[in-house]
Chains A and B, each alone.
Chain A
Amino acid sequence: MSLSRRLHGGLALMLMATLIVAVGAYAGVRQDAFLTSFNLNNLLLMTMPLALVSLGQTTALLVGGFDVSVAALMTFCVVVASYTITPETSGLALVPGIFAIVGVGLAAGILNATLIRVLRVPSIIATLATYSIFQGASLLLRDHPEGTINSDVTSGLAKSVGFVPLAFAGVVVLAVLADVWLYRSRTGLRLRAVGLDDTSSRRLGMSTGRIVFVAFVVCSVMASLAGFYLAVEVQIGSPIIGNYGLESIAAAVLGGASLAGGRGSFVGTLLAALFLSLIDNVLPLFQQPTEYAEMTIGVLILLALVLYQAPELVARFRTNWGGVGRLRAREGDASA
């Protein structure tokens, strides 16, 4: 593996880890409220929806696509949850309700993947269209926040050991396993190859269509899980939720995913999601308006992208400019 590629992957992980530690340490020193078990537990719980949807978004980015419909799909899942996970149901009766939400994700994923792979609509257009459809469907079911969501599930999902929620630990394990799969397995290599070069991959006998299809279905299913988690957090069937579409892309990119496909890291994405939540968590402690959070994130994305590209830019500079320079007119020749 070449140096620049190693750096590309490692750089994102290092930058995110450093930023999390730096911001955390600063907040810990300045604000007593930050390093409390309650706050850290809360931070990790708040990270969950973004972490889940961003992991899904990373698979879409890996095959060279986008899924901007995830935010609307999450909203739709919250609304569906307000019908299927009501306070009246309890115990095992909740299981079909949870499956219904994952089923919604599966169906949405198949719809997106069919548009993209079978009907050949560019992913950004296809998912923009389905974004509107999902958003409209949510408003059709609940035109204003109503319908309480079962709180038994909430406490179940918030179960923690120390300040670490079990669900979060599960997501960490998932991300690590996914990265090991991506960089240490035959099928992971295939996924990266398809993202990097579709034509060559087809020539090498890969069914690129199926791989892209599955990637988009996985993305939607992860978004529906994120929607489920969000539902039990907000506990009401709200048709209006956060800007998860762009934030999930931001997390994946900050975590090292390339918009051109074929590169990315699930652990990096998870760290970036944690970092984005951390900023949201810390600013109120300093009595800073949350508007700053959005601006900070924007600036960071720009800085990170430039930084991640640096090794490649340097490598390109060396090979292209060093060996073959520009067409230069030598002095004296012009008069010939």
Chain B
Amino acid sequence: MSNPGPASPVVLSLRGVSKAFGAVQALRDVSVDCRAGEIHALVGENGSGKSTLLGIASGFLAPDEGVIEIGSRKRRRTSPAETRTLGLGIAYQTYSHVLDLSVAENLYLAAPPALQPKYGQMEEWAAARLAEFDLDISTSARAGSLSLAQRQLFEVVKALLARPKVLLLDEPTTALGPEDVEHLHSLVLAHRRAGVGIVYVSHRLPEVLEISDRISVLRDGVCQGTFEAASMTEEELVTLMIGRPLELAFPERPDLAEHRDVLLAVAGLQGDRFGPIDLEVARGEILGIAGAEGNGQVQFLRALAGAERATGTAICDGNALDSRSPVGPLRAGVVLLSGDRAAESLFPVLSVRANSTVQILRRLGSVGLLNRRRERRTVDDLVRRLRIRAASIEQPVQTLSGGNQQKVSLTRPFLRGDVKVILAEEPTQGVDVAARFDIYDALRAKVREGVSVIVKSSDPLELAGLCDRVVVMSRGRIVDEIHGDDLGERRIVEAIVGSRAPTDPGSGPREAAA
């Protein structure tokens, strides 16, 4: 990688940027800059503040504190329209397409007024622009009908439309296959040669090290420093990204018996965003699913729970799972703990008691009426066991802390006697440390009763401590499996960032569909 050298002018500079969302401090006094003709990578774990920083640079988010400087114009507050005219282009991770409009219309809206042709010449103009960037999609297609890879490349083309001096790319390769990644990288390198400053956000460290000149590391919203890419290794980056020395006491793992029976067997399961996936989960096992966000982990769990469409088979305890709707899996004892607690798991205005017992009311009733005393006794007992901190079991769930809310959603599989598999999506997201370990203990306790748990988590430390075995998903498939003494936080992070080719062929990529 040639270094543009310190002589190149700075095209983007963020100084002392802080931003909070409610009680969460997303960024704390972050300063980074990008020079003309360099690729400046921004790395960090999920939720470390990368996207927030780009959103602030583009004017989409307003910083609480700090200054944005594009070219040599200083701004405390700006807007997407202004940063675009100042010469900034951005490709958002979650895109900026209006899905119900055509490709041509989307391209037209992305162009600054000075570059927009007459409305009537939009189609020809759009076709010419797409040809210029070598993107083979129809101008009249609805943006929503594009594949995810096409949407991602189209987003980059939109960012390049106004010939920016500084280009921000937020995870531009998550939906791309190797060929498309190469196409994108050659496009990015061509712009670097032309003197464009590029900020490149990615969790794929090999990509980052290959393409970038300098690398800044974010952790929990704080910049850990900016480094010359040539002087860094993946190991050093991973250490900076995790940065936590803490090794808290996870519940003890029981000795794994050699031949335990398979409780859940998945074969050739394939959905819109994942698959084909083959997977077996033993009775009494906690299986972790790791991977960078958006690689199909959530969709896979939801498909198992009947909340997402998929083809293939899943067998639970000897019976085929009917996943056409959530009813089949629920009856078979497969319970999903959604990561979107407020929207999908809980009734926020109802009490702890009502939320816990909503699925087992029949059992608590007699002659069609609810036996309140029996209900209260049941819930009281559980609140003690899970250490739910509420003023009373009549307290509305929405007034509890995040950790206690999560515990309340956990009460349901505990109260149901017939649960076989718990699918937990981010079980400790937004949960404070103490509550976190209560949840781990509770899951372990449930497993001892012969239940199996699949945990999808973006926290490698959690997966390493809690799980008996971890599989890593990338682009919708299982690409790695980690178990035994190998199972550690660093090993998981390395697998996620792709720095380690799967060594064991038996646990490697299972590309062939059954």
**A residues adjacent to B (C-beta < 8 A):** 1-2, 5, 184-186, 189-190, 192-193, 196-197, 199-207, 262-263, 319-320, 324-330, 333-336
The reply on B440 being an interface residue by CB < 8 A is no
Asked if B315 and A204 make an inter-chain contact with CB atoms under 8 angstroms apart, the answer reads no
B66 to chain A, nearest CB (A): 20
User: How far, in whole Å, are A290 and B109 apart by their CA atoms in the complex?
Assistant: 48
Contact of A326 among B109, B116, B311 (CB under 8 A): B311
Q: Kindly list chain A residues whose C-beta atoms are within 8 Å of the C-beta of B145.
A: 2, 319
Contact of B315 among A202, A206, A328, A333 (CB under 8 A): A333
A2-B140 contact given A206-B109, A327-B324, CB 8 Å threshold: yes
Interface centre among B92, B119, B140, B306 (most CB of A within 10 A): B119
Q: Kindly list chain A residues whose C-beta atoms are within 8 Å of the C-beta of B195.
A: none
User: How far, in whole Å, are A182 and B267 apart by their CA atoms in the complex?
Assistant: 51
Asked if B141 and A326 make an inter-chain contact with CB atoms under 8 angstroms apart, the answer reads no
Asked if B102 and A2 make an inter-chain contact with CB atoms under 8 angstroms apart, the answer reads yes
Q: Which residue of the partner chain A has the closest CB to B97?
A: A200
Asked if B97 and A325 make an inter-chain contact with CB atoms under 8 angstroms apart, the answer reads no
Asked if A192 and B320 make an inter-chain contact with CB atoms under 8 angstroms apart, the answer reads no
User: How far, in whole Å, are A325 and B102 apart by their CA atoms in the complex?
Assistant: 27
Asked if A324 and B311 make an inter-chain contact with CB atoms under 8 angstroms apart, the answer reads yes
Asked if A184 and B120 make an inter-chain contact with CB atoms under 8 angstroms apart, the answer reads yes
User: How far, in whole Å, are A262 and B318 apart by their CA atoms in the complex?
Assistant: 50
Interface centre among B99, B145, B309, B320 (most CB of A within 10 A): B320
Interface centre among A190, A196, A333 (most CB of B within 10 A): A333
**9 nearest interchain CB pairs?**
A329-B320, A205-B81, A327-B323, A203-B96, A334-B320, A205-B80, A197-B98, A200-B96, A196-B100
Given contacts A324-B310, A330-B313, 13 further A-B contacts (CB under 8 A): A184-B119, A186-B116, A192-B101, A197-B100, A200-B96, A201-B109, A203-B92, A204-B80, A204-B109, A205-B80, A324-B309, A325-B311, A328-B313
Q: Which residue of the partner chain A has the closest CB to B83?
A: A205
How many residues of chain B are within 8 Å of chain A by beta carbon? Answer: 51
Q: Which residue of the partner chain A has the closest CB to B275?
A: A324
Q: Which residue of the partner chain B has the closest CB to A335?
A: B318
The reply on B228 being an interface residue by CB < 8 A is no
Asked if B140 and A1 make an inter-chain contact with CB atoms under 8 angstroms apart, the answer reads yes
Contacts of B443-497 to chain A: CB distance below 8 A: none
B460 to chain A, nearest CB (A): 29
User: How far, in whole Å, are A189 and B116 apart by their CA atoms in the complex?
Assistant: 13
Q: Which residue of the partner chain A has the closest CB to B266?
A: A327
Asked if A326 and B99 make an inter-chain contact with CB atoms under 8 angstroms apart, the answer reads no
User: How far, in whole Å, are A335 and B313 apart by their CA atoms in the complex?
Assistant: 12
Asked if A206 and B81 make an inter-chain contact with CB atoms under 8 angstroms apart, the answer reads yes
The reply on B125 being an interface residue by CB < 8 A is no
Contact of B265 among A263, A330, A336 (CB under 8 A): A336
Q: How many A-B residue pairs have CB under 8 A?
A: 113
Asked if A196 and B315 make an inter-chain contact with CB atoms under 8 angstroms apart, the answer reads no
Asked if A204 and B110 make an inter-chain contact with CB atoms under 8 angstroms apart, the answer reads yes
In the complex, 9 of the A-B residue pairs with CB atoms within 8 angstroms, ordered by the A residue number, are: A2-B141, A186-B113, A196-B99, A203-B92, A204-B96, A326-B323, A327-B312, A328-B313, A334-B318
B14 to chain A, nearest CB (A): 18
Contacts of B291-329 to chain A: CB distance below 8 A: 303, 306, 309-315, 318-324
B514 to chain A, nearest CB (A): 10
B455 to chain A, nearest CB (A): 21
Asked if A327 and B109 make an inter-chain contact with CB atoms under 8 angstroms apart, the answer reads no
Q: Kindly list chain A residues whose C-beta atoms are within 8 Å of the C-beta of B97.
A: 197, 200
Q: Which residue of the partner chain A has the closest CB to B60?
A: A203
Asked if A327 and B140 make an inter-chain contact with CB atoms under 8 angstroms apart, the answer reads no
Asked if B313 and A324 make an inter-chain contact with CB atoms under 8 angstroms apart, the answer reads no
The reply on B250 being an interface residue by CB < 8 A is no
The reply on B25 being an interface residue by CB < 8 A is no
Asked if B309 and A326 make an inter-chain contact with CB atoms under 8 angstroms apart, the answer reads yes
Q: Which residue of the partner chain A has the closest CB to B144?
A: A2
Asked if A333 and B267 make an inter-chain contact with CB atoms under 8 angstroms apart, the answer reads yes
A204 to chain B, nearest CB (A): 5
User: How far, in whole Å, are A190 and B310 apart by their CA atoms in the complex?
Assistant: 37
User: How far, in whole Å, are A319 and B145 apart by their CA atoms in the complex?
Assistant: 9
Asked if B306 and A327 make an inter-chain contact with CB atoms under 8 angstroms apart, the answer reads yes
A205-B100 contact given A184-B119, A324-B272, CB 8 Å threshold: no
Q: Kindly list chain A residues whose C-beta atoms are within 8 Å of the C-beta of B306.
A: 327
The reply on B397 being an interface residue by CB < 8 A is no
B105 to chain A, nearest CB (A): 6
Asked if B318 and A5 make an inter-chain contact with CB atoms under 8 angstroms apart, the answer reads no
Contact of A190 among B109, B120, B267 (CB under 8 A): B109
A207-B60 contact given A324-B271, A327-B303, A333-B313, CB 8 Å threshold: no
A5-B142 contact given A189-B105, A204-B110, A324-B310, CB 8 Å threshold: yes
Asked if A196 and B101 make an inter-chain contact with CB atoms under 8 angstroms apart, the answer reads yes
A260 to chain B, nearest CB (A): 9
Asked if A193 and B109 make an inter-chain contact with CB atoms under 8 angstroms apart, the answer reads yes
Contact of A200 among B58, B98, B113, B320 (CB under 8 A): B98
Q: Kindly list chain B residues whose C-beta atoms are within 8 Å of the C-beta of A262.
A: 100
The reply on B269 being an interface residue by CB < 8 A is yes
